[in-house]
Amino acid sequence: MSRQKRQFSNIIYLLLFIPFLYIIFGSEYVYAAEKSVNRISGSNRYETAIELSREGWPNGAQTVMLAVGDNFPDALAGAPLAYQLNAPILLTNRAYLPADVSHEIRRLGAKHAILLGGESVISKKVASTLQKMGLTVERINGRDRYETTIKIAERLTGSPETAIIAYGNNFPDSLAIASYASKQGYPILLTEKHDLPEAIKQFIKRYKNTIVIGGEGVISKNVMTQLPSPIRISGNDRYGTAAKVVEKLHKDELNQAYVATGAAFADALTGSVLAAKNKSLILLVENENVPADINKVIDEKKVEHFAIIGGESVVSNSVVRMLQLDIASLISTAKSFIGVPYVWGGTTPAGFDCSGYLNYVYEKHGINLPRTVADIWKVSKPVSSPAVGDIVFFETYKPGPSHAGIYIGDNQFIHASSSKGVEITSINSSYYKTRYLGAKRVF
């Protein structure tokens, strides 16, 4: 081989091999790409339901389900039937059918409407309006919310051996399970806290198994004893219960999840059918915060894409930023520097001071912070209790915020300590407990 050919071969080799070396050695830390978040919303809950209908049924639907928009009991059990009929759930005023809703029904080309609840819930006038539009109207209702869930269950086809039991006087637990129940064809039946209603007690005999959603604070042990082979799924609150539903019942990783407020019923109700249709689920959040239990399950299920249901007044842009930020990756970055020594004025992995450490970690995830703890305190947003990824502040060697770290859950934070360098410490430790000032958010 000539010298010129050998030189050309060496150049090709280097061009191919150097990128490979860079992949292996060129970057000490790898950071996840930003997650995607989009929003499905209208100016109110009625219009948000319409937008969900347009998103999930662009080519129309033969059947549409209608629930009253300002009260939840009769609507809670409707999702499995709506899913089975491939019907969007739209919301109506009790006394009349809103014009935008009637327009959406025409766009869908629906021929049949199912009303959830009696005439005291959805009036005769609404039914009459639908009939004048050329739809056949079916009303599903019982003497109370409990019997209404039975009537809905009786309309389901198939022979499921399992039924869902949820508390009938509040909505979060029913909404947390709705998309899963829909996909499985399981009915959602409601109960009182201390006693299983007689109608439910008789109806439940046709099932071999029950999944009880919620802790003893909403469904007592006494109710459990009256159910066939009951399994309870619950957390410390509505968000913890929603997270446990995902953890225990959705075994696979999830590419996409729908996100709705846990403080109101309408958006999660109308979104649950779309979530089931897309083999996904609903995650419940607070208005300004993604609860720690929900964050944990997002990480475990490797959710990368989110669709928020509802406007900024129900799910704020603060939640959007929390979802976009890969919190687990941020904490992983923070932990990768455990043991790095404390250096006054230090801003690199050779040595950090308190704020230098915070600056370095957050900057790796696209968040630029002021240089001092006091200034970080000034520009960050207060939160009532810390979530993973928030910054916790302390008053140490001088009045006001003078030390801070990153909250990692379980009352622990990671920080650059002047005595031990980067380490994990409990907020309840003897030194920091009395010096704690609060938590703030920088994203």
Q: Could you give the residue numbers annotated as active site?
A: 354, 403, 415
Round to whole Å and give the CA distance between 308 and 274: 12
CB neighbours of residue 376 within 10 Å = 22
Cβ neighbors of 26 (< 8 A, separation 6 or more) are none
What is the token pair recorded at 268?
A: 């999660």
Helices 238-249 & 292-300 angle (0-180, nearest 10): 20
